[in-house]
């Protein structure tokens, strides 16, 4: 049967639509039994060791969100089996704050942290806007960034949300204060671990890692702050093999980095001053 | 400490780089013990029932890939614990075929199927190009699409890759031949199930589902063919609650769809004829 191209785009209106009957679950975590709580969202894979070492149910709610103009990834994480469903956002962008907060609301989460991996030069962080819209949310950035925030973290610190936590690793190079947030290590934490690398490591791209990222297990899932080619995730093992910069020796790496001849970043003069104060440079005089 | 903005973008070159020493794993599945094979990639969450019903290790390798111009998602799935690592691509785009095939190669996979959820009107499918570049790959589309392909599927059919499979569900409306591919049901298949909905359901967007998508469990992960707002995944339960079109009664739904006043699709005159022949409209005369 040949498709009638003329009716192609109108076809959605030609079928009788339908009425959906559904209950309204008060939560996006479904409990099937006291020991079987199923998260209502994408999670990282549960490693065999997770299965054998622990009876704890999976509970990380995870969403990867994309801001097209700056090709920035924002990550939403929550402990979905905790009564409060505490959540955090990593690297939110000012332009997509309303999208992100609406999703937080729809999923019934309680946002407690709005975090940055570093002071971004290509977009204005959404942390300041979020703090204004959701009272009680704390902004988080590394102490070494020199930026303003409610909470300053240092390498080795743990950031808890419910029974889950992120570990802070120093990954300077792109900026002095770049950190990578890694999901916790342990039988009741997601396996493989997930590392939010900011700009320290991009998929098959630049990375200055100070060995901190590559000391993670090879199956660790790496989530960068940007991707310009449409990739969404990689692993430590893949980048060890295929990252065109990080597989080179010291001299070659230095030559590559010194000869990138990159254009002056479009947003840097706006973004960096704003991001040093949580994205609230315009609001600050009023606040003082 | 205040960050010196002047050195911000040059800082990556100011640290001594490093040499990475690593072994070259022949595979991206790591076997820690005969019963503990760990996939080297993102997987959907392993439901509690999976943990209790089966000792099988997780094995789905899953990647979500994005084509920015048409905001199209391409999905790569593989059975990573099978010796051949058989893989398939859902909704590949012609512009990103080389990216996708390079990733398949890097991950050591054997591509066996290049599939479409429907005849796309906004981009040219990559299936024809893929068939030319990787001998042996078979193109797959629904029989109801009226398009050319190597394999025609019908509702209820199963598409196997290694020990995993996709189930075909009819979800007409956007086009006559739209199908949704759903990961298999069973203790050794990924849980929650993952549904690749094509254009039948977009995240918080239009969908004509004929009830087929909403008969899946609420925690089923839904992966659409497009997203224009930066979302990457949703669930059946979320769309039942928050999809602005699918939560309406029949009359309201019809009114919405009849008054969308959408612009004439830019690519439709090129894309649809090309996609009816696997994206190879220019090559066909030579082939005949």
Tokens describing residue A288:
């003082």
Q: What is the DSSP letter of B201?
A: B
Q: What is the pLDDT of residue B281?
A: 53
Looking at every residue in chain A, the average pLDDT score rounds to 76
- What are A89-131's pLDDT values in tens digits? 999 999 999 999 999 999 999 999 999 999 988 888 999 999 9
The distance in angstroms from the start CA to the end CA of chain A is: 70
pLDDT band at A286 (very low <50, low <70, confident <90, very high): very low
CA dist., res. B193 & res. B159, Å (int): 15
CA dist., res. A65 & res. B234, Å (int): 11
pLDDT tens for chain B, 288 residues long, are 333 333 332 333 222 222 222 233 333 433 222 222 223 333 333 222 222 223 344 489 999 999 988 889 999 999 999 999 999 999 999 999 999 999 999 999 999 999 999 998 888 899 999 999 999 999 999 999 999 999 999 999 999 999 999 999 998 888 889 999 999 998 889 988 999 999 888 888 766 666 678 888 888 898 988 887 788 999 888 888 888 888 888 788 888 888 877 777 777 777 777 777 777 655 444 433
Q: What is the pLDDT of residue B55?
A: 38
List, as own/partner pairs, every contact residues B95-100 make where C-beta atoms lie below 8 angstroms and the sequence separation is at least 24, other chains included: B95/B67, B95/B69, B95/B123, B95/B126, B96/A230, B96/B65, B96/B67, B96/B126, B97/B126, B97/B129, B97/B130, B97/B133, B99/A229, B99/A230, B99/B65, B100/B65, B100/B74, B100/B76, B100/B126, B100/B130
pLDDT band at A196 (very low <50, low <70, confident <90, very high): very high
Give contacts of A121 with chain B, Cβ < 8 Å. Answer: 8-9
Helices (H), B182-267: 236-242, 250-258
**B5 burial type by CB count under 10 A (0-12 exposed, 13-18 middle, 19+ buried):** middle
Of A52-56, A199-203, B156-160, the poorest mean pLDDT is in A52-56
Comparing CB atoms, the residue among B42, B121, B219 nearest residue A45 is B42
Contact B233 A206 (CB under 8 A): no
Contact B49 A32 (CB under 8 A): yes
Nearest Cα of chain B lies from the Cα of A98 at a distance, in angstroms, of 11
Residues in chain A: 288
CA dist., res. A149 & res. A171, Å (int): 19
Q: Nearest-CA residue of chain B relative to A259?
A: B13
Tokens describing residue B139:
């193109």
Which of B45, B117, B195, B224 is the best substitution to test chain A (most A C-beta atoms within 10 A)?
A: B45
Q: Which listed CATH number (3.60.15.10, 1.10.1040.10, 3.40.50.2300, 3.40.640.10) goes with B37-258?
A: 3.60.15.10
Comparing CB atoms, the residue among B17, B229, B246 nearest residue A20 is B246
Comparing CB atoms, the residue among A40, A147, A250 nearest residue B18 is A250
Q: Please report, for chain B, the start and end positions of each structural domain, with discontinuous segments joined by +.
A: 37-258
CA dist., res. A253 & res. B108, Å (int): 26
Q: What is the pLDDT of residue A47?
A: 25
The residues, ordered by sequence, that sit 6+ positions from B234 with a Cβ below 8 Å of its Cβ are B203, B204, B221, B222, B224
CA dist., res. A22 & res. B240, Å (int): 7
Contact A249 B19 (CB under 8 A): yes
For residues B191 and B49, the answer to whether their CB atoms sit within 8 Å is yes
CA dist., res. B48 & res. B63, Å (int): 23
Comparing CB atoms, the residue among A8, A38, A66 nearest residue B230 is A66
Give contacts of A3 with chain B, Cβ < 8 Å. Answer: 119, 145-147, 175-177, 272, 276
Comparing CB atoms, the residue among B15, B232, B249 nearest residue A208 is B15
For residues B3 and A145, the answer to whether their CB atoms sit within 8 Å is yes
ipTM exceeds 0.90: no
Higher pLDDT pick, A229 / A17: A229
For residues A236 and A220, the answer to whether their CB atoms sit within 8 Å is yes
**B136 burial type by CB count under 10 A (0-12 exposed, 13-18 middle, 19+ buried):** exposed
pLDDT band at A249 (very low <50, low <70, confident <90, very high): confident
Q: What is the pLDDT of residue A144?
A: 94
Which residues, in sequence order, are bridge partners of residue B222? B195, B234
Contact A230 B67 (CB under 8 A): yes
CATH architecture group of domain A37-259: 4-Layer Sandwich (3.60)
Contact B146 A3 (CB under 8 A): yes
Contact A11 B174 (CB under 8 A): yes
Q: What is the pLDDT of residue B86?
A: 97
- What are A215-242's pLDDT values in tens digits? 888 888 989 888 878 889 999 888 888 8
Q: How far is CA B131 from the centre of its chain?
A: 18
The residues, ordered by sequence, that sit 6+ positions from B271 with a Cβ below 8 Å of its Cβ are B120, B121, B122, B123, B124, B265
Contact A36 B52 (CB under 8 A): yes
Q: What is the pLDDT of residue B205?
A: 77
CA dist., res. A171 & res. A181, Å (int): 10
Contact A3 B210 (CB under 8 A): no
Nearest to A20 by CA among B168, B206, B209: B209
CA dist., res. B218 & res. B236, Å (int): 5
Comparing CB atoms, the residue among A19, A37, A254 nearest residue B250 is A19
Nearest Cα of chain A lies from the Cα of B125 at a distance, in angstroms, of 16
Q: What is the pLDDT of residue A211?
A: 61
- Range list of β-strands (E), chain A: 30-33, 36-38, 60-67, 72-79, 86-90, 110-115, 138-142, 151-153, 158-161, 164-170, 179-183, 194-198, 221-224, 234-235
Q: What is the pLDDT of residue A97?
A: 96
Give contacts of B227 with chain A, Cβ < 8 Å. Answer: 66
CA dist., res. A59 & res. A80, Å (int): 5
Give contacts of A122 with chain B, Cβ < 8 Å. Answer: none
Comparing CB atoms, the residue among A48, A233, A257 nearest residue B12 is A257
Give contacts of A54 with chain B, Cβ < 8 Å. Answer: none
Q: Nearest-CA residue of chain A relative to B204?
A: A103
Interface size between A and B, measured as CB pairs under 8 A: 284
For B51, left (φ over 0), alpha (ψ -120 to 50), or beta?
alpha
Q: Nearest-CA residue of chain A relative to B49?
A: A36
Give contacts of B174 with chain A, Cβ < 8 Å. Answer: 11-12
Q: What is the pLDDT of residue B56?
A: 45
Comparing CB atoms, the residue among A22, A38, A175 nearest residue B11 is A175
b/e A137-155 (16+ beta carbons within 10 angstroms → b): bebbbbbbbbbbbeebbeb
């Amino acid at each position: 049967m040949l498709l009638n191209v003329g009716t192609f785009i109108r076809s959605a209106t030609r079928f009788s639509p339908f009425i959906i009957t559904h209950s309204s679950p008060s939560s996006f975590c479904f409990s099937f039994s006291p020991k079987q709580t199923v998260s209502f969202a994408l999670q990282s894979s549960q490693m065999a060791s997770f299965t054998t070492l622990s009876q704890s149910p999976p509970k990380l709610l995870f969403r990867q969100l994309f801001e097209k103009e700056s090709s920035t990834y924002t990550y939403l994480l929550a402990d979905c089996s905790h009564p409060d469903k505490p959540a955090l956002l990593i690297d939110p962008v000012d332009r997509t704050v309303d999208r992100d907060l609406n999703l937080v609301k729809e999923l019934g989460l309680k946002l407690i942290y709005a975090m940055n991996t570093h002071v971004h030069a290509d977009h204005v962080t959404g942390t300041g806007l979020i703090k204004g819209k959701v009272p009680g949310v704390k902004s988080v950035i590394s102490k070494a960034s020199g930026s303003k925030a409610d909470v300053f973290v240092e390498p080795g610190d743990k950031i808890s949300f419910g029974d889950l936590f992120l570990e802070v690793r120093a990954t300077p190079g792109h900026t002095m204060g770049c950190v990578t947030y890694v999901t916790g290590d342990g039988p009741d934490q997601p396996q493989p671990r997930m590392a939010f690398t900011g700009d320290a490591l991009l998929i098959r791209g630049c990375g200055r890692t100070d060995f901190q990222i590559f000391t993670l297990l090879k199956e660790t899932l790496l989530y960068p702050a940007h991707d310009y080619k449409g990739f969404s995730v990689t692993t430590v093992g893949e980048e060890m093999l295929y990252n065109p910069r990080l597989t080179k020796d010291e001299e070659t790496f230095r030559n590559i980095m010194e000869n990138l001849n990159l254009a002056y970043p479009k947003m840097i003069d706006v973004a960096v001053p704003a991001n040093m104060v949580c994205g609230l440079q315009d609001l600050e005089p009023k606040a003082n």
